[in-house]
Amino acid sequence: MTAAVEIVPRGRLAYGLQLPVQAQSRLFAAPWEADAGATELRRVAEAADRAGFFYVAVCDHVCVPRDRERLMSTVWWDPVATLGFLAAATCRVRLLSYVYVLPYRHPLQTAKAFLTLDALSSGRVILGVGAGHLQGEFQTLGVDFARRGKLTDEAIDVVLAAFADEYPAHDGPAWRVHDVGLRPRPVQRPRPPIWVGGSTPGALRRAAARGDGWLPQGTDRAKLPEQIAYLRAHRAKARGDVPIEIGANSEWLYVGKPGFDLGPNARSGGGEEIAASLRELGALGVQHVGVRFRTRSAAELVDQIETFAAEVAPHL
Residue 289: beta bridge partners? 15, 248
Identify the three-state secondary structure at position 46. Answer: helix
Q: What is the domain count for the chain?
A: 1
Domain that residue 20 falls in: 14-315
31: which residues sit within 8 A by CB, 6+ positions away?
A: 296
CATH of the domain at 280: 3.20.20.30
For residue 37, being part of any structural domain is answered with: yes
DSSP 101-133: EGGGS-HHHHHHHHHHHHHHTTS-EEEEEE---
For residue 4, being part of any structural domain is answered with: no
**Gap between the Cα atoms of 96 and 85, Å rounded:** 13
Contact criterion met (CB below 8 Å) for 13 and 286: yes
For residue 108, being part of any structural domain is answered with: yes
For residue 1, being part of any structural domain is answered with: no
For residue 22, being part of any structural domain is answered with: yes
For residue 265, being part of any structural domain is answered with: yes
Query: What's the maximum distance between 2 C-alpha atoms anywhere in the chain?
Result: 61
For residue 9, being part of any structural domain is answered with: no
Residue 240: beta bridge partners? none
Contact criterion met (CB below 8 Å) for 215 and 197: yes
For residue 50, being part of any structural domain is answered with: yes
Tens digit of pLDDT at every position of the chain (316 positions): 668 999 999 999 999 999 999 999 999 999 999 999 999 999 999 999 999 999 999 999 999 999 999 999 999 999 999 999 999 999 999 999 999 999 999 999 999 999 999 999 999 999 999 999 999 999 999 999 999 999 999 999 999 999 999 999 999 999 999 999 999 999 999 999 999 999 999 999 999 999 999 999 987 899 999 999 999 999 999 999 999 999 999 999 999 999 999 999 999 999 999 999 999 999 999 999 999 999 999 999 999 999 999 999 999 9
